[in-house]
Structure 1
Amino acid sequence: PVRGEGDRGLVEDFYRKVTALPADQAPVFMEARPPGLHFAHVRHGGLYFVATIPSGASPFAALEFLNRLAALLRDSCGALDERSVALNFALLYELLDELLDYGYVQSTAPEVLRNFLQVEPVLGPRFSLLDLSSVGLFGADTQQSKVAPSSAAARPALSLRGEQGSRPEVFLDLVERLTVIIAANGSPMKVDIQGEIRLKSFFPNCSEMRVGLSEEFCVGKMELRGYGTAVRVDECSFHSSVRLDEFERSRVLRVTPSQGELTLMQYQLADHCPTALPFHLFPTVHHDLPSGRVQVYLKLRCDLPPKSHAVNVRVHLPVPKAVLSLSQELSSPEQTATLQTSTKSVEWVVPRIQGGSQLSALFKVSVGQGRLVEVRGAYLHLEVPLASSHCLLASIPQLEVPGLGRGGLRELGPANLSFEVPAFACSGLQIRFLRFVGPQTSLPHRWVRYVTHSDAYAIRLNAGS
């Protein structure tokens, strides 16, 4: 509780409400006990940041505070995860004590709070970017492409002693999230791109930084700029510290960053993708109602440029709830596929796929609870095992037999893809340069990274074949 509302049972109450929610689509606000209180929460790095707010308080102010709190913890501890929080509990408690005074926010500015912190951060083991949820940690490396030493991502940005190594570093990430819905005939129904440019600075006392974007960058229905292919977005917004006096003329962002993480720009492109979609999935479904067997053949084609690749590719395919068994045939040995009994789905995992290549998988699913003997009009005759003998059930309507009717086939799909594409931006936006203006004691190392990953990538299946 921010201002002492509620009782000690609030933690258990929030835990019960969150664990009762289906999947990961949790609402941001939930009603709490006693009446008149609400939970406001956000999730970062697998951790929940929760506050209780009364009915008359601003919900958006609570969310803004929680997001800033998460950014401050990441700047103070380095990697934001459960282990880092456990190691730096004393530092985080001191940070919260300076942030809030009797439930009222004092300041969330890193440069102000830094002067009051006395506890040194404790560093955990070296970090590796193998999980999609950690894409916001700058300077980490993957197994496929290194962009900077991994120790940079696990190092706190707000060092109390000012010891940042022999040379400071600045990381600039262009991150894009794809939301795609593809119809059963292969035509895109929805294609949205949400992008942002994030800056993480380990450079103290920086006078000014200039970030040059693509000269052909257009916002809305502006006339085309430059001589190359236009890079168009529907709308964009900037951080309050970004100066835009050179943006209209030369597409340059000017900012004087403090140490820590900062989102310089956010942009959106709706119902259009300038490049080809990263993946196309071609499903073929065959079913045999009498035997209760369903065969699903999936061909996954990667339409990225040949020099690009995708990692951590997962295809999530819901199957009928009455599924009994699964057999599979995969096109390469590094792929894996498992039947998730808890969610009644098939999980097809591809560690890496090169642009221009394609993979395939054949899944054979046995569905139903009995063996079909014969069909008579609108009724089925089933032979169901019962102890050591068999019992013949007659005059059962077809639509009421679980796993054997058309209703069971409707539970098949749609397929959902998740993936990460390093060094690639679907919008075509590029960082031309990253420069520093004014007298500098030493220029920092500059790292620029592009990454595109799926926010929602769904392909509908036609189970009528």
Structure 2
Amino acid sequence: MVEKRAGGRGLCRARGSGSPLTDPPLLLLPSLQQARQGLHFAHVRHAGLYFVVTVLPNASPFAAVEFLNRLVTLLRDYCGSLSEKTVSLNFALIYELLDELLDYGYIQTTAPDVLKNFIQMEPVLSQPFSLLDLSTVGLFGADTQQSKVAPSCAAARPVLSLRGEQSSRPEVFLDVVERLTVIIAANGTPMKTDIQGEIHLKSFFPGCSEMRVGLTEEFCVGKTELRGYGTTVRVDECSFHSSVKLDEFERSRILRVNPSQGELTLMQYQLADDTPAALPFHLFPTINHDPSGRVQIYLKLRCDLSPKSHAVNIHLHLPVPKATLSLSQELSSPEQSATFQPSKKSIEWVIPRVQGGSQLSALFKLEVPGLSRARLLELGPANLSFEVPAHTSSGLQIRFLRFVGPQPSLPHRWVRYVTHSDSYVIRLSAG
């Protein structure tokens, strides 16, 4: 069943029998705060920057937060990326955008196709854009740490071409981004496993007529649609942008959309506590201690991905007792690194890359004066962050990405996948 929802981003929701899918903002959770009587502040945070708006009592705070999210998306479309340096370089452009977006506090439009007819300023790039520069490569739909899994710098590229710039062949990027929330008990049993997925579109193709996105044919929403044959990709719920046409979704799992230049979240989905694939990582800790205050922590990290897959930017954060004075370490390979952070009282174990089916180990020796049972309880839990390029934990795949109707030139089409940890917590037992 598909239903329309009033207000908000105008998403359609396909309901299943699982837990409800809440609709978080496109960026991070907003914050509402009363400044003084009759006036409130609403803000969202993105890339270390705060975007703030004042709201009167008779105004909808949800509309204010939605406007801020759309403003951030527009700034990324026009400036390429968002940072303190980008904002300072493009202050005049941002001022012009705000002047067209708002009129005496009333929102006029946030449509990129309408705004580009009135915006005269050109973006100033913080660094020259080059397809050959892979140092800033990242999926535009994934707020990851140092992702290097995209074929070009779509994340930092303005949608509108600069004046005098030679027009290149247009591109369309489709990112399937999944975020894992996992809690694993001390005995290795998963206690919570959630997948939050999104399909992001970023188009550098002006004047596109219609685009058809084919999902996995065995894609099911809820347990009632399970078909009992083949490899099924099941989610609890999914929601769609209001511009997505769903007349072929029930029969053929095809999304139809007429995208404008810029970013668009075509679809959001959720799967809770019933992941079809094994978890990417398992940690096997062994903890020994003696009355003299020495603690030995032996960690074995196993990557349960397919041998054809790999994970990058693995970072394990392990809190240690606050009385810890020193750390010595033995790592299983030279590319790994581990440091003791005295201010945070934690061990930071960093692994640049690990192949599926392999395992790594580390031995940490701590000096903890006055070691007691209470101080041992300060050890852990371990928090793991990572990125897995070209992989989805749900099994969702894009069958095709096609354009319908006469086109002046077909664009380059990039379909990219990434799974990364939103919260991957592993509890330890100090024995």
TM-score (norm. length: structure 2): 0.87
Identify which of 270, 273, 279 aligns with 1:271. 273
Kindly provide the amino acid, as one letter, of the partner of residue 233 in structure 2: V
Whether 1:356 and 2:367 are equivalent positions in the alignment is: no
**Mean alpha-carbon deviation: is it higher for 66-75 or for 84-93?**
84-93
Distance in 1, matches of 2:148 and 2:106, equals: 46
Q: What's the CA shift for 1:331?
A: 0.6
CA-atom RMSD in angstroms: 2.3
SS at 2:95 equivalent: helix
Q: What's the CA shift for 1:27?
A: 7.1
- Whether contact under 8 Å (1:329, 1:363) holds in the other structure is yes
Q: Which has the larger radius of gyration?
A: 1
Whether 1:233 and 2:235 are equivalent positions in the alignment is: yes
1:157-205, CA deviations, whole angstroms, 9 ceiling, x for partnerless residues? 1336596733110000000000000000000000000000000000000
Distance in 1, matches of 2:207 and 2:65, equals: 30
Whether 1:112 and 2:114 are equivalent positions in the alignment is: yes
- Whether contact under 8 Å (1:124, 1:154) holds in the other structure is no
SS at 1:351 equivalent: strand
**Mean alpha-carbon deviation: is it higher for 106-115 or for 256-265?**
106-115
Residue matched to 1:169: 171
Identify which of 195, 212, 236 aligns with 2:197. 195
Distance in 2, matches of 1:76 and 1:120, equals: 8
Distance in 2, matches of 1:344 and 1:105, equals: 48
Residues 158, 452 of structure 1: alpha-carbon distance in 2 compared, 3 angstrom cutoff: same
Residue matched to 1:367: 368
Distance in 2, matches of 1:143 and 1:413, equals: 27
Report % sequence identity: 75
SS at 1:153 equivalent: helix
Distance in 2, matches of 1:220 and 1:455, equals: 23
Distance in 1, matches of 2:166 and 2:299, equals: 50
Residues 281, 38 of structure 1: alpha-carbon distance in 2 compared, 3 angstrom cutoff: farther
SS at 2:325 equivalent: strand
Q: What's the CA shift for 1:224?
A: 2.9
SS at 2:275 equivalent: coil
Greater relative contact order (CA < 8 Å, ≥ 6 in sequence):
2
Distance in 2, matches of 1:296 and 1:278, equals: 22
Residue matched to 1:148: 151
1:275-313, CA deviations, whole angstroms, 9 ceiling, x for partnerless residues? 11000011111122x212211111000001001111100
Distance in 2, matches of 1:331 and 1:148, equals: 32
Residue matched to 2:60: 58
- Whether contact under 8 Å (1:215, 1:225) holds in the other structure is no
Kindly provide the amino acid, as one letter, of the partner of residue 85 in structure 2: R
Identify which of 419, 422, 429 aligns with 1:455. 422
Residue matched to 2:320: 319
Identify which of 53, 58, 80 aligns with 1:78. 80
Residue matched to 2:161: 159
Segments of 5+ residues of structure 1 without an aligned counterpart are: 1-25, 369-402
Residue matched to 2:385: 418
- Whether contact under 8 Å (1:210, 1:253) holds in the other structure is yes
- Whether contact under 8 Å (2:134, 2:148) holds in the other structure is no
SS at 2:223 equivalent: coil
- Whether contact under 8 Å (2:30, 2:45) holds in the other structure is no
Identify which of 79, 92, 100 aligns with 1:98. 100
SS at 2:278 equivalent: coil
Residue matched to 2:140: 136
Residues 36, 334 of structure 1: alpha-carbon distance in 2 compared, 3 angstrom cutoff: farther
- Whether contact under 8 Å (1:114, 1:160) holds in the other structure is no
SS at 1:413 equivalent: coil
Q: What's the CA shift for 1:412?
A: 0.6
Residue matched to 1:296: 297
Distance in 2, matches of 1:227 and 1:79, equals: 44
Distance in 2, matches of 1:143 and 1:416, equals: 19
Distance in 1, matches of 2:250 and 2:399, equals: 16
- Whether contact under 8 Å (2:179, 2:195) holds in the other structure is yes
- Whether contact under 8 Å (1:425, 1:451) holds in the other structure is yes
Segments of 5+ residues of structure 2 without an aligned counterpart are: 1-27
1:380-409, CA deviations, whole angstroms, 9 ceiling, x for partnerless residues? xxxxxxxxxxxxxxxxxxxxxxx5221111
Structure 1 ranges of 4+ moved more than 4 A: 126-132, 142-145, 160-164
Distance in 1, matches of 2:174 and 2:190, equals: 31
Residues 339, 39 of structure 1: alpha-carbon distance in 2 compared, 3 angstrom cutoff: farther
1:233-272, CA deviations, whole angstroms, 9 ceiling, x for partnerless residues? 0000000000000001100000000000000000000112
- Whether contact under 8 Å (2:147, 2:387) holds in the other structure is no
Distance in 1, matches of 2:391 and 2:134, equals: 17
**Mean alpha-carbon deviation: is it higher for 170-179 or for 220-229?**
220-229
Q: What's the CA shift for 1:321?
A: 1.0
Kindly provide the amino acid, as one letter, of the partner of residue 304 in structure 1: L
- Whether contact under 8 Å (2:31, 2:44) holds in the other structure is no
Distance in 1, matches of 2:76 and 2:224, equals: 38
1:406-449, CA deviations, whole angstroms, 9 ceiling, x for partnerless residues? 11111110000000000000000000000000000100000000
- Whether contact under 8 Å (1:129, 1:135) holds in the other structure is no
- Whether contact under 8 Å (2:141, 2:200) holds in the other structure is no
Distance in 1, matches of 2:38 and 2:283, equals: 48
Q: What's the CA shift for 1:56?
A: 4.6
Residue matched to 2:21: none
SS at 1:118 equivalent: coil
Q: What's the CA shift for 1:75?
A: 0.3
Distance in 2, matches of 1:419 and 1:37, equals: 41
- Whether contact under 8 Å (1:217, 1:225) holds in the other structure is no
Residue matched to 2:338: 337
Kindly provide the amino acid, as one letter, of the partner of residue 263 in structure 2: E
Q: What's the CA shift for 1:154?
A: 2.6
SS at 2:420 equivalent: strand
Residue matched to 2:410: 443
Residues 129, 268 of structure 1: alpha-carbon distance in 2 compared, 3 angstrom cutoff: farther
Residues 162, 421 of structure 1: alpha-carbon distance in 2 compared, 3 angstrom cutoff: farther
Size of the alignment, in residue pairs?
399
Residues 110, 27 of structure 1: alpha-carbon distance in 2 compared, 3 angstrom cutoff: closer
SS at 1:277 equivalent: coil
Residue matched to 1:224: 226
Residues 131, 442 of structure 1: alpha-carbon distance in 2 compared, 3 angstrom cutoff: closer
Whether 1:428 and 2:380 are equivalent positions in the alignment is: no
Distance in 2, matches of 1:163 and 1:255, equals: 29
Residue matched to 1:46: 48
